[in-house]
Amino acid sequence: ETGVTQSPTHLIKTRGQQVTLRCSSQSGHNTVSWYQQALGQGPQFIFQYYREEENGRGNFPPRFSGLQFPNYSSELNVNALELDDSALYLCASSQKTGTYEQYFGPGTRLTVT
């Protein structure tokens, strides 16, 4: 098991609502990346935070936003939820940006009805 934790484990929301997912990075890691994994697919990169600043973003709309805190934990916020947002959301931390291996948390399963 990695030292990356995520909360909550599961979540059910209604279309149009807003959701916040949380991630605590592994000790010593200052970089957090978020991924969306739809059923039967590989994870897709949402964005990355390095030392509290956004350090890259994938092809996701602005209603997906994030934060990183001074202790390097992170939040993913999704506004105006759509049915297609139903997925496993994975947080990964790494020692630095670049080619350092990422350590993934167990994920948050979001269901939008």
Kindly determine how many residues on this chain lie close enough to bind another protein according to the rule CB under 8 A.
Answer: 30
Q: Is 41 in the site for another protein (CB under 8 A)?
A: yes
- 84: three-class secondary structure by DSSP: helix
Q: Which is nearer to another protein, 58 or 67 (CB)?
A: 58
Q: Give me the least distance between CB of 30 and another protein, in Å please.
A: 12
Work out which of 81, 102, 110, 112 binds another protein, going by CB under 8 A: 102
Q: Is 8 in the site for another protein (CB under 8 A)?
A: no
How far is residue 84's CA from residue 97's CA, in Å, rounded to a whole number?
Answer: 29
The dihedrals phi and psi of 84, each to the nearest 5 degrees, come to -70, -10
CA 92 to chain CA centroid, Å, is 7
How far is residue 70's CA from residue 47's CA, in Å, rounded to a whole number?
Answer: 18
- 83: three-class secondary structure by DSSP: helix
Contact (CB, 8 A) for 93 and 72: yes
String of contacts with another protein for each residue 57-86, x by CB under 8 A? -x----------------------------
Q: Quick one: which segment of 12-20, 60-68, 77-85, 100-108 binds another protein (CB under 8 A)?
A: 100-108
β 10-13/108-112 pair status: parallel
Interacting residues toward another protein by CB under 8 A: 2, 4, 31, 33, 35, 40-45, 48, 55-56, 58, 90, 92, 94, 96-107
